[in-house]
Amino acid sequence: MSTATYTVVGMTCSHCVTAVTEEVSAVPGVTAVDVDLPTGGLTVTSTDLVDDGAVRAAVEEAGYEVSGS
């Protein structure tokens, strides 16, 4: 099991949380996604090391961005 954390910028409502959760959940190997709206926190649990680029792309596909590099 591997866990990675990110900060998502631009989420303002529960629909935002749902969109990010659905997109990131579709990343291969991801087993759990937890999004905290007030902080923008995103915790991704996966079977192996999470593909950072795939997670970032999924967040962008949902219409948001990951803070930092």
- pLDDT confidence of 69, banded at 50, 70, 90? low
DSSP letters for 4-48 = EEEEEES--SHHHHHHHHHHHHTSTTEEEEEEETTTTEEEEEESS
Residue 43, class by beta-carbon neighbours within 10 Å (0-12 exposed, 13-18 middle, 19+ buried)?
middle
pLDDT digits (tens, 9 = 90+) for 1-48: 899 999 999 999 999 999 999 999 999 999 999 999 999 999 999 998
State the chain's maximal CA–CA distance in angstroms.
30
Check whether domain 2-66 has CATH 3.30.70.100, yes or no: yes
pLDDT digits (tens, 9 = 90+) for 41-65: 999 999 988 899 999 999 999 999 9
Average pLDDT, the chain: 95
- Spell out the domain ranges in the chain: 2-66
Rounded to two decimals, the pTM is: 0.93
